[in-house]
Amino acid sequence: MKEYDKTNHLSAVNGDNRNADKDAIVQQALKLGFSAAALIDTDRIPFRPEFRICCEDNSCGMYGVNYACPPACGTTDQMREQVQSHKNALVLQTIWEAPDLEDKALLKQCKKKHNALIRKLIQELPPECGGGFMIAASGCSLCPECAIVKKEPCRFPDLMASCVSAYCIYVQELAEGLGWDYDLGQGLVAYFGMYVFG
């Protein structure tokens, strides 16, 4: 598993950043290793509640067995309202070399590293960015088996994170609206996430 050399690719800084502090946050994310980062208003995030059926199809195997995934995570309206109750979304992308997109184990590791990078960034953000929450690239994988399976309470409720799919965020539209590549072609895969705050 190898993170794509982002110097070969687009590193986008969105033009919406309205002051030096916001630009500094974006630069901090890029410096940490994200291939693209942008700080936008949450009202720019496209939600598509009809995407919930993709979770219900359960191709990822997480439906009903993870607190961060449907149906336990909340309805589509509740998920959208959770995001829109905050003003800012720091949208983040990583790009990975993935010669075989059928290699589920490799993709899982890439997602895990992507999510860990978001957590690291959140820890390093200035205190004025506190009080937010993370949106990940996959269902919560903090525990080897989610506590929901044994009908126990979530072990890390302050750290659990739902994925962009659970929020029904139309990631392709969002990414392309920011001028980022979504479909990178053969051998590369992009993952997305956010930190929502303010």
Q: Which residues contact 79 (CB under 8 A, 6 or more apart)?
A: 73, 162, 166, 167, 168
Smallest distance from ligand SF4 to CB 144, Å: 8
Where does this chain touch ligand SF4 (CB under 6 A) — which range of 14-22, 26-34, 127-135, 147-155?
A: 147-155
Range in contact with ligand SF4 (rule: CB under 6 A) among 11-19, 35-43, 65-73, 111-119: 65-73
Give the residue, chosen from 146, 175, 178, 194, that forms a contact with ligand SF4 under the rule CB under 6 A: 146
Judged by CB under 6 A, the number of residues near ligand SF4 is 12
Three-state SS at 52: helix
Distance CA 124, CA 71 (A): 32
Place of tokens 């590549």: 181
Helix, strand or coil for residue 49? helix
Helix axis angle for 104-124 and 20-32, nearest 10°, is 140
Question: Which CB atom, from 26 or from 160, has the smaller least distance to ligand SF4?
Answer: 160
Q: Which amino acid is at 17?
A: N
Considering only residues 149 to 188 of the shown chain, the ones binding ligand SF4 according to CB under 6 A are 154-156, 160
Toward ligand SF4, which CB reaches closer, 74 or 198? 74
Q: Is 140 in the site for ligand SF4 (CB under 6 A)?
A: yes
Task: Name the one range near ligand SF4 by CB under 6 A: 24-32, 37-45, 120-128, 135-143.
Answer: 135-143
Sign, CA dihedral 172-175-179-181, equals negative
- Which one, of 26, 6, 5, 31, lies nearest residue 14 by Cα? 26
Shortest distance, CB of residue 48 to ligand SF4, whole angstroms?
Answer: 24
Residues binding ligand SF4 (CB under 6 A) = 66-68, 140, 142-143, 146-147, 154-156, 160
